[in-house]
Amino acid sequence: MSYSTRQIIVFLSVAFGGAWAVWLLLYLVTKNNQDPSFVSSLAFITSVMAMWSPALGVLVLWLSNKRQRVLTPSLQFHIRNRWKVYLAAWLVPIGCVLLGALGFFLLLPHDLDLSLSGMRQSLQLPSETVPDEAIPSIVGISLVSGVFIAPIINTLPALGEELGWRGFLYPALAERLRPRYAHLIMGVIWGFWHTPINTMGHNYATEYPGYPWLGIIVMSVFCFGAGTFLSYLTERSGTIWPAALGHGTINAVGGFPVIIATNDLPHRIFGPGISGLIVSLPFVLLAAWLIPRFQRTEQFPIQEEGVGG
DSSP character for 261? B
Among the listed ranges 8-12, 44-48, 155-159, which one has the minimum average pLDDT value? 44-48
Query: In angstroms, rounded to a whole number, what is the distance separating the alpha carbons of residues 272 and 135?
Result: 20
Write out pLDDT tens, residues 158-192: 999 999 999 999 999 999 999 899 999 999 999 99
Mean pLDDT value across residues 273-292: 97
Cβ(53)–Cβ(11) under 8 Å?
A: no
Instruction: Report the C-alpha gap between 108 and 100 in whole angstroms.
Output: 12
Q: What digits encode the pLDDT tens for the residues 198-242? A: 999 999 999 999 999 999 999 999 999 999 999 999 999 999 999
- SS3 label, residue 117: helix
Give the CA distances from residue 270 to residues 123, 214, 215, 281, in Å, rounded to whole numbers and listed in that order. Answer: 22, 11, 10, 10
The whole-angstrom separation of Cα 58 and Cα 55 is 5
- pTM summary value: 0.93
Coil, strand or helix at 112: strand
Mean pLDDT of 233-257: 96
Q: Does the pLDDT at position 131 exceed 80?
A: no
- pLDDT at residue 308, as a whole number: 46
